[in-house]
A and B are shown apart, each in its own frame.
Chain A
Amino acid sequence: SSLISIGNKDLQLLFDTNGFLTEIQADGMARTISQEFLYYVGAIGNNEEFLNRSSGAYIFRPLDNKVYAVATQVDVEVYKGHLVEEVHQKFNDWISQVVRVYRDKPYAEFEWLVGPIPIGDRKGKEIVTRFKSDIQSNGVFYTDSNGREMIKRKRDHRDTWNLKLHEKIAGNYYPVTTKIALEDDTARMAILTDRAQGGSSLEDGALELMVHRRLLHDDAFGVGEPLNETEYGDGLIARGKLHLIYGQPIQKAIERQTQLETLLPPWRFFSSMSAYTVDEWR
């Protein structure tokens, strides 16, 4: 086999020869899935015109509605043990990720590291991660409302008026505080976040979340400066975690439990024990 696989008895992730996620086996199913990092170039507008503003702190507004891939091949290292199996992926010099599955956890963890976003080409960039499955979601997906109930979203649609979208990407982005999900009759895919992010489903079966952005123009909504964080030198590096839960559509209890455990993890306190042996400590 040319595939790399990691997992536990309930969940298996397979990676192709280019290092990308390609298949998930969970809940008795083997389904196609992919995950990659992409970026949008921020729009540069004329801020004196209300409908032609730059992408900035207040608004997400990609230039020309195009998305760009960051890598066609990923460097990978695989570590397998009896507690966790993980794949270390390097997409380019400023994007890397660890994908891991713990022995008895029902989810896969994607720990991403993005930055400093290069701006040598004088283009602002907004980085997203996209999970693409074969789930027939028919344009419907769900985002949470401050970690409480899930709200149904439909691509290119608003419930109370006839919508004509001029910006197909930004117009379909919604706030995600802790969870974004989609499903059909046979499978459900949910992604839990560790922080508030923007997210969408721009095609059936696909979920994407924005993880980091660096922009060179103010959007003229009030902040008065571009979102270009250079105080620490080259720009900020961000690191965070996503949890992927895949299974039958009825598996929502696992999502709620995982949500609690990941958003309210145990507090850790460290104490030097140089003055105590293990028996004295006990």
Chain B
Amino acid sequence: PQPLEQEHHFHIVEVSSLLPATDVEGCNPSPKGNKKGNSLEVRHKHGPCSSSTLESDKESRPSHVEILENDEKRVDSIRERVKPKSVEVDSVTDHKKAPKKDRVKQKAVGLPVKSGSTIGSGNFIVTIGLGTPKKDLSLIFDTGSDFTWTQCEPCKRSCYKQKDPVFNPSESSTYTNITCTSTLCSEVRSATSAKPGCAGSTCVYGIQYGDSSFSVGFLAKDTLTLGSSYDTIPNFYFGCGENNQGLFGGSAGLIGLGRNQLSVMSQCATKYGQVFSYCLPSKASSTGHLTFGKGGTSSKSITYTPLLSGSAGASFYFIDLQGLSVGGQKLSIQPTVFTQGGVLIDSGTVITRLPPDAYSALQAAFNKAMSKYPKAPALSILDTCFDLSKYTTVTVPKIGLQFGGKAEIVLPAAGIFYVKDISQVCLAFAGNGDASD
């Protein structure tokens, strides 16, 4: 490419800048982090900014291969949830028993038993306050699921290790259990993909994730407190987990920002108008924000694309991806390639998946533009990898995504690669196995 064209359509990046943060760097909170009162600081679950709250989790940090394998499990769960189906957990009324996979009944022939499970947890955490007086809890934030839950004393069956003190309902003056006859109890089914149970008169939820992690406990309500301005949401419905097991990374539970009536977004609709925004920290050693309400972004140049809603996967945020470009060249991809299975955005998925034909086109164009660099072995699901160990700077084609409403985003260099180490730098996209996924 000519110099001017190169500047427009290629990133020229120092290889060292692609490397992920390490603990040695410590935590450097982003100066752009939103400081508004209705804003929560977003931290990576395993990064140095989490060390003050999740120190005990360091030894359980996953490897890169484990991160990618867990990501595949999450995406498998999303694929199954988006497909039309009818499944139910036959009973979660006994909270002393885990909702094991073999208890998920199939009603649609040929579907895998895991199709009733919801997606695995994401990588980013925020701290909220719960109860009166409020107790601070670090929860995984997730736009791809709906149900908010935290571990609760007395942990009748099991609680995994978390850094924050476990929430104790008996110490909150505003805590209330929800009865089985409440309409909110029936809403649990769509929020958790599992039919709620009943213990005495109390509604019992059960939620199982794609990696077999789960939480079972009481549906409850209490006061939720958000941000430095201590915005309060009275009567916030959540799960008070008495039996919790899985890879939640030392967090106290999960906050669901999906589209279901029980999600935080829906429950806070009156206060924040069904608008929220986030920025994921650009390095694990930095911080981002999760902000409720309008005006939460630090950037003035927001490009919008319509949100789509479909009958399948009603909890998810579907968007209208129409095309891809590499190095300024639009790829030849039929528009129906993207509409066949649909496209959704999810804060908890690490690697963007593309339909097979779209991924093939992206891979071919990217390989062509990167042909001067030696290839490297595949890393789990990532099959387009390069050895950049002999370079101090590299020229990388910009990747653009075109959305409905004439919106386009061009990914920064950090959004193009997943870097295991400098000798194995991989294109951070993967192909779906089926065109209808």
A binds B: no
